[in-house]
Amino acid sequence: MKFVCMGGSARRALTFAKLLAREFGYDDREVLAYGDTERYSLYKVGPVISVSHGIGIPSLSILLNEMTKLLISAKAQNPVYIRMGTSGGIGVEPGTVVLTTESISPKLTPVFEQTVMGETRYYPTLLTQNLNDEIYQLRNQLPVTMGKTFSTNSFYEEQMRSDGLFNPSFSNSEKLEFLHKLYEMGVRNIEMESLALSAFCLQAEIPVAVACVTLLDRLKGDQVLASKEELLDYSNRSHQLILSYIKSKIENGAM
């Protein structure tokens, strides 16, 4: 086992597992989840684990602890962790895959916080630069960019959406000013997991990348305007990119 590919939903984990199976010449109807699927769904296809982590940092953090302990027990050598998902874009065309260089917290710092026994601890959130470079070189015709990722603990409130339950406490122009400020800081997309994933992998010394496609440009609005077919195409782009990376590593004899 060499590559751990993660995404939010069980459906995405299965979709990617089937893509891998077809690529490796297996019958994709034989792709079955390992173990219990009450909390997470895990598939193993050749040297790749495809697994769901749920929504947000708390759900992800349990998976990271438990899966990494399993890999250590299984004596897996030098695994690489890659998260694929969707995100809101900032100043990039919808459908762009953003490779995260560094994750930025809601407090606008590249820091993940955990409070243990009442004491807050701070962890850096850099992603693995040479892994990003390797993946970026394989982008081929896909729209791929590198940038920072704003990583929040809520989808509506902390991402300043105007279509949550509560009326926003800010004007549209204040929101746009803030989004432009994020852009100036080098942020190109917004999601909900990379802050903890990067911090965990730095601590555990595991190379890690986050490749999330953008579904909209938040500088232009809060609603996704792409059609169902476009969204499916967008969603597949991070899979295609990471599949190219995995194939290139296998062909270059990294296995």
- Pick out residues in 21-50 that bind a second copy (CB under 8 A): 38-39
What is the total count of residues that contact a second copy (CB under 8 A)?
48
Whether 192 contacts 112, CB under 8 Å? no
Tokens of 105: 């917290």
- Pick out residues in 140-159 that bind a second copy (CB under 8 A): 152-158
CA atoms of 231 and 223, how far apart (whole Å) = 13
Residue 64 binds a second copy (CB under 8 A): yes
Whether 112 contacts 199, CB under 8 Å? yes
SS3 state of residue 113: strand
CA atoms of 43 and 25, how far apart (whole Å) = 16
Min CB(179)–a second copy separation in Å: 9
Min CB(133)–a second copy separation in Å: 27
Residue 122 binds a second copy (CB under 8 A): no
With b for 16 or more beta-carbon neighbours within 10 A and e for fewer, the 100-137 pattern comes to: bbbbbbeeeebbbeeeeeeeeeebebebbeebbebbbe
Min CB(141)–a second copy separation in Å: 28
Residue 63 or residue 241: which is nearer to a second copy going by CB? 63
Residue 222 binds a second copy (CB under 8 A): no
Please give the residue ranges that form the binding site for a second copy (CB under 8 A): 8-11, 38-39, 54-59, 61-62, 64-65, 68-69, 72, 105-108, 114-118, 120, 152-158, 160, 164-166, 169-170, 174-175, 178, 192, 203-204
